[in-house]
Amino acid sequence: MPSWLLSSLVSLLFFGLWGFFSKLALFHVNSKVTLIMQTLGVVIISLFLLKNIEIRDFFPAKGAYFGILTGAAYGLGCLFYLIAVDKGKLTTVVTLTALYPLVTILCSFIWLNEVITTKQWAGIALALLSIVIMSI
């Protein structure tokens, strides 16, 4: 088994649970409170990780800067996801937002010069077609 596969599957499981738990939380509190509680959950995990990190691991500063941008993008993405889930059907919202890798792929193509094969372009086209089908 490739070294990344198990971590990817565990990630898939937890992201799936995250989407489901988000809707359960929104039955009881609004999207802003849900985001704050979700962030508290991330902080708790981070505190466990922090005990194994040394201050020199936070440098170079450019890495820390991109880490903060990662958190900001995640927080804003989660906030708008929660607003959408609160107002719409979970099945539709989670399907549409699950296409977020398209943004990552296009950014990697444009700024990191990563190659996208013909087969991958076809997959991107099908993913975009799914947006049209889901919105009908």
The label of the residue with tokens 């995250």 reads 18
| pLDDT on residue 118 | 96
For residue 62, the model assigns a pLDDT of 76
CA distance 112 to 95: 27
- Whether the bond into 101 is cis, omega within 30 of 0: no
The whole model's pTM is what? 0.77
Per-residue pLDDT of the chain (136 residues), as tens digits, is: 788 889 888 888 899 899 899 999 999 999 999 999 999 999 999 888 888 887 777 777 777 788 888 999 999 999 999 999 999 888 888 888 888 989 999 999 999 999 999 999 999 999 889 888 877 7
Residue in the block written with tokens 């049209």 = 132
| Residue that has been written with the tokens 């937890």 in this structure | 14
Q: Got the DSSP string for the chain? A: --HHHHHHHHHHHHHHHHHHHHHHHHTTS-HHHHHHHHHHHHHHHHHHHHTT--GGGG-SHHHHHHHHHHHHHHHHHHHHHHHHHHHS-HHHHHHHHTTTHHHHHHHHHHHS-----HHHHHHHHHHHHHHHHHH-
